[in-house]
Every structure is written in structure tokens, then in C-alpha cells.
Amino acid sequence: MDLDPLQRLLAERACERVILDFVRRLDLGEPSSVAELFTEDGTWEWPDGERLVEGRGALRKYFGSRPAGRLSRRLMSNVLVTLTSPDTAISTAYFTTYRIDGYHGGQVTAGAPVQVGHYEDNFRKAKGSWLIATRTLFLPFGGPTPRH
């Protein structure tokens, strides 16, 4: 693929921003709004958890079902985006999740992360914006969410 280096850099950065915006919306924004970061036919899959959510409407409902009183912070690292064409890309990004349920405000004593894993994404450029076409979650380290 012959792509101008600046165009490649801009496309990779746009995909990285989607990856980071996803966790920002989950932790600090409106969780259901992460559906807007997916293509209309986008999917989110967790093979080991036997979950497959297909389509923007279903994604909005799934992520919008976050329990009231949940406090979470996700750390993203090792983000690697690779363009596969001028309008498609793949990525791998590691995450660490700190989370509690029953949060009522104030500072909480930090505990161990409840999840450590990675996402594998396929991106597609649609109407000038880079969006997630498929996201697959791999979770080698996980446990229950503690209550505060």
C-alpha cells in the first residue's frame, strides 16, 4: 500500500483516539455513547465470556446497562495501530481495569485491578471518520468487581 507518510500517521492517530475515547466514555462520560465509536454494523465480542453484541443499537443498550454506583478507571497501553488499506486498519491495545460497585462519592482506597487484557480491533473509515468495525476482548486476568 502506497500511502503518504503524513496521511498514514494521521489515520493511525485517529484510530488511537477512538481507542482512548472508548475508555474515557465508559469511565467519565455516558457509557452508552461508546456505540457511536462503532460502525453501524459494528460488533463487540468476548469469546471466553460467550458474548457477541452486534449493531450500534445493541451496543448502545449493552454499554448503557452499566450498574448504577459503579466507579471505574481503565488504563490503556501498548496501543499499536497498523493500516491495512487507506480505509481500514487493525490494532491491539492492552487495558487494566480498576473498578468497584456501590460507589457513593469521595476517594476510594485503591485495590488490585479486576481485569488485565487486550482488545483486538478492526477499523473502517466511514464518511470521513475512523470507527471500530469489530472489537474482540481477550481477558487472561479477571475477577469479581468488589463492593465499596
Q: What is the CATH topology of the domain spanning 5-102+113-142?
A: Nuclear Transport Factor 2; Chain: A, (3.10.450)
Condensed to tens digits (0 to 9), the pLDDT of residues 120-141 reads 999 999 999 999 999 999 999 9
Kindly give, in sequence order, each residue whose CB lies less than 8 Å from that of residue 127, ignoring residues fewer than 6 positions away: none
Condensed to tens digits (0 to 9), the pLDDT of residues 1-42 reads 788 999 999 999 999 999 999 999 999 989 999 999 999 999
Mean pLDDT of 45-61: 93
Q: Is the pLDDT at 47 greater than 90, yes or no?
A: no
Q: Is the pLDDT at 55 greater than 80, yes or no?
A: yes
Q: What pLDDT does residue 3 have?
A: 83
Rounded percentage of the chain residues whose pLDDT exceeds 90 = 91
Lowest mean pLDDT segment, chosen from 1-5, 83-87, 107-111: 1-5
β partners of residue 119: 93, 137
Q: What pLDDT does residue 130 have?
A: 98
DSSP structure string for 86-124: TTEEEEEEEEEEEEEBS--SS-------SEEEEEEEEEE
For cell 488511537, what's the residue? 16
Q: What pLDDT does residue 142 have?
A: 93
Cα 131 to chain centroid distance, Å, stands at 11
64-82 b/e (C-beta count within 10 Å ≥ 16 → b): eeeeeebbbebebeebebe
How many CB atoms neighbour CB 147 within 10 A? 9
pTM: 0.94
